[in-house]
Structure 1
Amino acid sequence: MKNSMNISLSPVLSDYELLDSGDFEKLERFGRYVTRRPEPQAIWHRSLTEEEWRRRADAAFLRDARSDERGVWRLKPQTPDRWTVGYDHAGMHLRMRMGLTSFKHVGIFPEQAANWNFIYDRCRALAGKGGRPRLLNLFAYTGGATLAARAAGAETTHVDSVRQVVTWARENMELSGLDGVRWIVEDAMKFVRREVRRGSRYDAIVLDPPAYGRGTDGEKWILEEHIGQMLACCAQLLSPDAGAFVVLNLYSMGLSAMLARTAVRQAFGTPADEQYGELYFEDPFSKQLPLGIYYRFTR
């Protein structure tokens, strides 16, 4: 073992700011506009007043009383329901479209910028050894990790079961001035099983699985039940060469970075270098809001 570090990461983005959090909500700035939406981990009290939240928020998510997940956005006059934000790191210049969805998501998880940096830097290092590294992005959503890999010159495969978000990711690719991504609209488990049968190999694998989901043909995904099998398949797909890497994100409340580390190590073995911990943002009032856990290793 060369290096094993438990580190919580909080990236810096010029187009993002956590303005306040508490009472199960968060107030965020994305580019020019401020959103207000539910956040189950913000168990403390807000620091700003309700009046200040209302004054600042350009768009507020109102949960449907009949659903725990769905709702509608209330917009101030002249507030668009979609706009563009940017992110830069080293030689990477990404542009991504924001969109206010009925599931409270906005099309970007800004805490993932810490992993975008890692993916870009590692893919650049692999490319520096000659050839084009191959990266597989599973449960890839609107493609932040895909864009980072492609910006670094990696041959990138983007897999998601929802055609609309794959279209959204393609739009983000074009906004970022990139091309050449391989788009796959399919259940992730079905895809990796087929890749194992084909004997495919990748130099990097990124997994961002939801707690629960459905595939293109109604396949059911339950994280706790299926993550072990998914990791076992990915272990057969990852190149054995030095420099190959894996990034795993988990958003389910109650799961820990130690759990992710143990599951990945069982599937892949002990790595040369690993990092794990929480992804978070801190608001101006020193409240640290955890937004998921990550585990990543390099052979």
Structure 2
Amino acid sequence: MYSFLTVSNWPDYELIDSGNFEKLERFGDYILARPEPQAIWDKHLPPSEWERLAQAIFKREKGSTEKGQWQLRRGMAEQWFIKYEYQEMKLRFRLGLSSFKHVGLFPEQDPNWKFIYEAARQLKSKAPKILNLFAYTGAASLAAKAANADVTHLDSVKQVNYWARENMEASNLDQIRWIVEDAMKFARREVKRGNIYQGLILDPPAYGRGPNGEKWQLEDELNELLKLCAQLLDPTDNFFLINLYSLGFSGLILENLISQNFNTHVKANQEVGEIYLQDRGQRKLPLGTFYRFSTVLYNKIDTK
């Protein structure tokens, strides 16, 4: 089933406007303007309204596609917390203004956090083992932990893991296993050890480096990593989720890779498609492709 997923019922987040390669977003009490390469259309609001609303504006450095500086208006915090709630899951995320335009959270992942929470709760295992690779600041890890899962959180950047731990503590959760490691190396070792997980979560970048300089190039490495993941995933009691924010990677590519590598798993309930955010002008901003499946029936999962 090809699906389109977006944020719903989240008071602390809104995409206000998008266009001219920028987006205007509200995170809690603060409104930010930052670059967005996929917003190639015109803005809905006039420049004067962007100027009035934006409390922090990201300006790129000359010659850089990512790095830059934030211009802050008086009263704008450099760090703050927002809330996220779904059913019994009550999380808090610490946000911050980085020199790479990011704030420590990808809000378009809201429907996937709900999927993780619901699937982990409904698996047969009482404390399912969940592995989150390329885990960043841990929103998906927290969603799994809120469902009483045994969570292993892996990211190659030590400071990012500290940030994720702070989010865990702010959310009144504990006992997540933190790993600073290259995802491919860790997956290979886990396969050799014979370890099995009931849930796997992957959000790999297009390009990255491991803690010891290991090179990650999505199109070169993803197929091998998925072969390893297929050996790590419980074949009958499971959920699997992969999200890609990479121009040129369609849902068909994910569908082919999953079909090839997970052919021995029960995949009756599977979904492939795109994630987007919708602004006040009703434009849909595409922010990645996803593929997910589970032994849990989708009609029991409310991700809307």
TM range (shorter): over 0.9
Aligned to 2:233: 238
Structure 2 residue aligned with 1:28: 25
Q: 1:265: which partner in 2?
A: 259
Match of 2:63 among 61, 66, 70: 66
Stretches of structure 2 that go unaligned for 5 or more consecutive residues are 296-304
| Aligned match for 1:101, one of 91, 98, 103 | 98
Q: For 1:131 and 1:91, how far apart are their aligned partners in 2?
A: 17
Per-residue deviation, 1:130: 4.8
Mapping for residues 119-138 of structure 1, pairs under 5 Å: 119-126=116-123, 129-138=124-133
Q: Which residue pairs with 2:180 in the alignment?
A: 185
In structure 2, distance between residues paired with 1:144 and 1:75: 26
2:33 and 2:102 mapped to 1: Cα distance? Answer: 11
Which residue of the partner structure matches residue 298 of structure 2? Answer: none
1:23 is displaced (CA, Å) by: 0.2
Q: Which residue of 2 aligns with 1:160?
A: 155
- The residue number in structure 2 matching 1:250 is 244
Q: What residue is the counterpart of 1:42 in the other structure?
A: 39
Please show how residues 172-251 of structure 1 align to structure 2 within 5 Å: 172-242=167-237, 244-251=238-245
Structure 1 CA distance, aligned partners of 2:140 and 2:28? 20
- In the TM superposition, what is the alpha-carbon distance from 1:51 to its structure 2 partner? 1.2
**1:111-137 deviations in Å (ceiling 9; x for gaps):** 1010000000011102xx352100000
- State yes or no: 1:274 paired with 2:270: yes
Q: Which residue of 2 aligns with 1:147?
A: 142
2-side partners of 1:96 and 1:286: how far apart? 27
Give, in whole Å, the separation in 2 of the partners of 1:130 and 1:40: 42
The CA distance in 2 between the partners of 1:51 and 1:132, in whole Å, is 52
Please give the residue correspondences for 1:79-94 in structure 2 after superposition, counting only pairs within 5 Å.
Answer: 79-94=76-91
TM-score normalised by length of structure 1: 0.96
Give the TM-score, by structure 2 length.
0.95
Q: How far, CA to CA, are the matches of 2:154 and 2:116 in structure 1? A: 17
CA distance in 1, matches of 2:247, 2:51: 28
Deviations 1:48-97 (A, max 9, x none): 11111011001100000032110000010111111101111111001000
Q: Which amino acid aligns with 1:73?
A: W
Structure 1: state its 5+ residue gaps. none
Please state whether the residue corresponding to 1:79 is helix, strand or coil.
coil
Q: Secondary structure at the match of 2:90?
A: strand
Q: Distance in 1 between matches of 2:70 and 2:255?
A: 37
**Number of residue-to-residue matches in the alignment:** 292
Distance in 1 of aligned mates of 2:288 and 2:91? 22
What is the CA–CA distance in structure 1 between the aligned matches of 2:240 and 2:107, rounded to whole Å? 20
Of 146-155 and 46-55, deviating more is 46-55
Instruction: Give, in whole Å, the separation in 1 of the partners of 2:272 and 2:235.
Output: 21
Match of 2:302 in 1: none
Counterparts of 1:28 and 1:63, CA distance in 2: 18
Letter in 1 for 2:205: P
Secondary structure of 1:7's aligned partner: strand
Q: Which amino acid aligns with 1:245?
A: F
C-alpha distance in 1 between matches for 2:78 and 2:153: 26
CA distance in 2, matches of 1:254, 1:147: 30
Aligned residues: percent identity? 54
